[in-house]
């Protein structure tokens, strides 16, 4: 499953540089699939959707740091635990019960975004 940032977030920004997938953004900032990944141009995501990796996407939150579920792999393939949760001083990076993925799905997403890594 993906990780979410709850409304207990104090906007300290400690989590953002720790994400190996660049899935964490400051509130109100646009995001792109290509940010921090090998994705470019038109791509078909692991769930079958076609997107433009270079195109700016709407922010998930306008107020707090947020995690893009399509890019979150819970750090599988990079670390033993989600790095955002490990550095969060208020423990607001928690599993998203609405986005449940198996370890195999998370690793497949990681390999898709980082085929050379």
Judge whether residue 102 has pLDDT over 80. yes
Domains within the chain, CATH numbers bracketed: 1-116 (3.30.70.20)
Using pLDDT thresholds of 50, 70 and 90, give the confidence band for residue 117. Answer: low
Gyration radius (Cα) of the chain, Å: 13
In total, the chain counts a number of residues equal to 117
* Model confidence pLDDT, tens digit, residues 34-70: 999 999 999 999 889 999 999 999 999 999 999 999 9
Q: What is the model's pTM? A: 0.94
Average pLDDT, the chain: 95
Are 89 and 11 spatial neighbours (Cβ–Cβ below 8 Å)?
A: no
How confident is the model at residue 46, as a pLDDT? 85
């Amino acid at each position: 499953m993906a990780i979410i940032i709850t409304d207990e977030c104090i906007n300290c920004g400690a989590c953002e540089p720790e994400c190996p997938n660049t899935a964490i953004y400051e509130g109100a900032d646009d995001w792109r699939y290509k940010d921090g990944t090998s994705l470019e141009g038109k791509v078909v995501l692991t769930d079958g959707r076609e997107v433009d990796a270079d195109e700016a996407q709407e922010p998930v939150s306008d107020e707090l740091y947020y995690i893009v579920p399509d890019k979150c792999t819970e750090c599988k393939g990079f670390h033993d635990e989600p790095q955002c949760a490990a550095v969060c001083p208020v423990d607001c990076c928690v599993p998203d019960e609405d986005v449940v993925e198996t370890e195999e799905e998370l690793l497949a997403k990681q390999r898709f975004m980082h085929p050379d890594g």
